[in-house]
Structure 1
Amino acid sequence: MTNKYKHISKFLSLVLRHRPEAIGITLDEQGWADTTDLIEKINKHNNELDFNTLKQIVDTNPKKRFIFDSSFQKIRANQGHSIPIDLGLEAQTPPLVLYHGTAQQFVHSILETGIKKLNRQHVHLSKEKEIALKVGQRHGKPVIITVLAQQMAQEGYTFYLSENGVWLTEEVPTRYLRIL
């Protein structure tokens, strides 16, 4: 992904996950934005974006953060919203364990209070250690925390699987955490 695409991708994340009002668009209750309106309003904020470039960003984003509807008339972020939306996800049975990547400086707090969603709608978990490691590296020395996901599910916690393979849940209490 080129630097230009990275810049626009980050801006799309801001707009579609956290602040649609930053460019004057409205998301529907499922988080969808009108594709044409999004392109027009992004271009008014010192960006050069056309449909083909937007499609290229969606198709090549390594984290698969965005998705079009089947008609390409609407676009949304797959997860990570700090604004209330209904992604229409159905509860799923998670694998035995999932992983959460964090930085060393946050481990003490996590072990005391569990993993909290903070300003997002869900806690994000990964099926792969490698992905958790990459997430943890963004904030400092990485630490991978193992989450006893299947045990959580058996004890009443709900899990969802987003379109791009990220496992989501409301919280992870400390009793389900293990440090790798």
Structure 2
Amino acid sequence: MKKQLTETSKFLSYVLRHNPGEIGLTLSSEGWADLSELILAARKAGHDLDVELIRAVIDGSEKKRFAISEDGRLIRALQGHSTDAVDIRHQPKTPPEFLYHGTATRFLGSILAEGLLPGQRHHTHLAGDIPTAFAVGQRYGKPVVLKVEALRMHQDGFVFFQAENGVWLTEKVPASYFSPMPQA
């Protein structure tokens, strides 16, 4: 069952964040998809989904990547979109003094040279705590956590948002606003 949940989560991430057209799905500008249309389109594409499986993925995930609307008819990814069709209107929010970004040490050279960039996504993602950032970094190799001076950035005119799942978002983080944390 765990393998099925992981595979379904990856499929939902791909379709709801990056390529809904792959299965003939259309997202609203806020990233919402009709849940029944998602299930039908997924089945036509060879992915056996149902509401119970989707809810199990959402309820069982610590990362809280997805949300179902209050009426239970719509689903969306909360952040991490790369498709131009989606432009979620997050409300600007003042960040705490520090936020954190987890990455792999192999990326550190280019990050120190260029800063943190969103890549294909709409925003750069930051965590509110070190353990979360560390866990993200571990997904990509030997982890390193960058300590970001978020409040100073905000005071200098950078805009921050916080997604429904607690992930902090900003356009980019110039290298002058962060430093690698010592590894324990």
Greater shift in the superposed pair: 50-59 or 20-29? 50-59
Code of the residue aligned with 1:52 in structure 2: it is: E
Q: Distance in 2 between matches of 1:49 and 1:118?
A: 30
2:51 maps to which residue?
51
2:157 maps to which residue?
156
Q: Distance in 2 between matches of 1:95 and 1:101?
A: 17
Helix, strand or coil at the partner of 2:110: helix
Helix, strand or coil at the partner of 1:116: coil
Q: C-alpha root-mean-square deviation of aligned residues, in Å?
A: 1.0
Helix, strand or coil at the partner of 1:75: strand
**1:101-120 superposed matches below 5 A:** 101-120=102-121
Q: Distance in 1 between matches of 2:180 and 2:96?
A: 18
2:122 maps to which residue?
121
Q: Distance in 1 between matches of 2:103 and 2:45?
A: 33
2:74 maps to which residue?
74
Helix, strand or coil at the partner of 2:179: strand
Alpha-carbon deviation of 1:58?
1.4
Code of the residue aligned with 2:161 in structure 1: it is: Y
Code of the residue aligned with 1:6 in structure 2: it is: T
Q: Distance in 2 between matches of 1:62 and 1:41?
A: 27
Alpha-carbon deviation of 1:60?
1.4
Q: Distance in 1 between matches of 2:51 and 2:140?
A: 33
2:33 counterpart of 1:36? no
Q: Which runs of 4+ in 1 moved over 3 A?
A: none
Alpha-carbon deviation of 1:45?
2.4
State the percentage of identical aligned residues: 45
Give the unaligned 5+ runs of structure 1. none
Q: Distance in 2 between matches of 1:91 and 1:5?
A: 33
Q: Distance in 1 between matches of 2:23 and 2:48?
A: 14
2:176 counterpart of 1:172? no
1:89 maps to which residue?
90
2:143 maps to which residue?
142
1:18 maps to which residue?
18
Greater shift in the superposed pair: 71-80 or 57-66? 57-66
1:7 maps to which residue?
7
| 1:7-41 superposed Cα distances (whole Å, 9 cap, x missing partner) | 01100000000000111100011111000000111
Alpha-carbon deviation of 1:178?
1.1
Code of the residue aligned with 2:28 in structure 1: it is: D
With normalisation by structure 2, the TM-score equals 0.95
Q: Distance in 1 between matches of 2:27 and 2:105?
A: 36
Alpha-carbon deviation of 1:86?
2.2
Greater shift in the superposed pair: 1-10 or 63-72? 1-10
Helix, strand or coil at the partner of 2:120: coil
With normalisation by structure 1, the TM-score equals 0.97
Alpha-carbon deviation of 1:129?
0.5
| 1:43-68 superposed Cα distances (whole Å, 9 cap, x missing partner) | 22222211111111111122100001
